[in-house]
Chain A
Amino acid sequence: DIQMTQSPSSLSASVGDRVTITCRASLGIGSWVAWYQQKPEEAPKSLIHAASSLQNWVPSRFSGTGSGTNFTLTITSLQPEDFATYYCQQYSTYPHTFGQGTKLEI
């Protein structure tokens, strides 16, 4: 199985900050990476697919980059509603493994 290693596991930031979360795949997976946001007691929400394509409902302060084995999610100018846990997922090969998550805290 392809392992997805996210870092950091937790991150403290303030409103207005720029933050970056990284995800490393154990094998090359092209651009087959998605990013999801999850708030406490809520279902996950899809943010990015194909490493860098934003879903229609996602604000432009979110961006994704990467290909092969290294991927990043960047949030510029953090807003209060952005404090949540973020997950990467590879969908190159089954099983579609997730990273362990990054908790973004104030």
Chain B
Amino acid sequence: EVQLVESGGDLVQPGGSLRLSCAASGFTFSYYAMTWVRQAPGKGLEWVSGISGSRVSTDYADSVKGRFTISRDNSKNTLYLQMNSLRAEDTAVYYCARHEGGGGGSVDYWGQGTLVTVSS
């Protein structure tokens, strides 16, 4: 059974940093591209960042480019999102999700999400 479990969400002050983790199990993690999607309170889904299975390719939404870094440790079956220079508008539930294949494709499995709150 595919499982994605996010952690690391917290209350942080504007300008602060946070690292989210997503522990994956039930599949060959290194084969699949992974992505982060967020949802601000009461709002829709927003794609944040993606990384290929081989870690060669990464992409970011303009809203987080230069502030967020996606990475993965295939030996630990874990996906990360390093978030720096956090702003109030980064407040959201952050979902980790698996793409159908190594290079991309649609998302097939989602984690349950972790809440990031940016506030003083």
Contacts and interface: CB of A to CB of B under 8 A. Distances in A.
Given A44-B95, A95-B59, A101 B45 contact: yes
A91 B59 contact: no
B44 A46 contact: no
A100 B45 CA distance: 8
A71 interface: no
B108 A43 contact: no
A35 to B, nearest CB: 9
Given A44-B45, A91-B104, A101-B45, A96 B35 contact: yes
Interface residues of B, number: 23
Interface string B60-83: 111000000000000000000000
Contact of B106 (A45, A49, A100): A49
A46 B59 CA distance: 21
30 contacts: A1-B62, A32-B106, A36-B45, A36-B107, A43-B110, A43-B111, A43-B112, A44-B37, A44-B45, A44-B110, A45-B110, A46-B106, A46-B108, A46-B109, A46-B110, A49-B100, A49-B108, A50-B106, A87-B45, A89-B47, A89-B106, A91-B104, A91-B106, A94-B50, A95-B47, A95-B59, A95-B61, A96-B47, A98-B46, A101-B44
Interface of A: 1, 32, 34, 36, 38, 43-46, 49-50, 55, 87, 89, 91, 94-101
